[in-house]
Chain A
Amino acid sequence: DTAVSQTPKYLVTQMGNDKSIKCEQNLGHDTMYWYKQDSKKFLKIMFSYNNKELIINETVPNRFSPKSPDKAHLNLHINSLELGDSAVYFCASSHTSTGQAGGYTFGSGTRLTVV
């Protein structure tokens, strides 16, 4: 199936731990994103990468470090997790040139709970 896939779907961890979320897309898109959905369901962009290059870093704490080994993968590593990091994290992808017209494809989300 063509899709954006994220792992894990659920992640429960203690404060202070370091964790990673992985994202892969097989749609041939050249731009990938991380969005955060908070407890009030508000969605906000965190990062975007175009062909492995960081394009957008939306004032995210530097405990969050995205890594894009190739244009089909965008991983999110989070150091020293805090309670406020609890949220649903969505990966998405699009074509740069037609991203607006073609829309964005979202993964199913990773629900992170920090206890």
Chain B
Amino acid sequence: AQSVTQPDIHITVSEGASLELRCNYSYGATPYLFWYVQSPGQGLQLLLKYFSGDTLVQGIKGFEAEFKRSQSSFNLRKPSVHWSDAAEYFCAVGVVEYGNKLVFGAGTILRVKS
């Protein structure tokens, strides 16, 4: 079965420091991978997506992610975190069998300290 693992429930970084959020997936076919961000009380906003081509993808708000097939990973990175980045981040894999759907990881809560 398809699954997504985000090993870190919480991460705290200092403002201006670099960030990496980990994501590992389990999926038999070529994965379509997404990162979404959810601010408190808000909906889900798409940060970036990977479906083919260059394995380093750029997203909004200065985020990037790298797809590594050999490691079944799609880690999210940002070189310098801003206080406004504090939110919950969800990694997801798109499953095409039996209809399109997203399978989400459990999320990583990012706290930014000044």
Contacts and interface: CB of A to CB of B under 8 A. Distances in A.
Interface string B91-109: 0101010111111101100
Chain B, interface size category, equals 20 to 34
Contact of A48 (B44, B90, B99): B99
A100 B46 contact: no
A101 B107 contact: no
Given A41-B107, A42-B106, A90-B44, A103 B100 contact: no
A94 B38 CA distance: 19
Interface in A91-115: 94, 96, 99-101, 103-109
Q: Interface majority SS on B: helix, strand, loop or mixed?
A: strand
Contacts of B51: 100-101
A31 B104 contact: no
B49 A103 contact: yes
Interface of A: 31, 33, 35, 40-45, 48, 50, 55-56, 58, 90, 94, 96, 99-101, 103-109
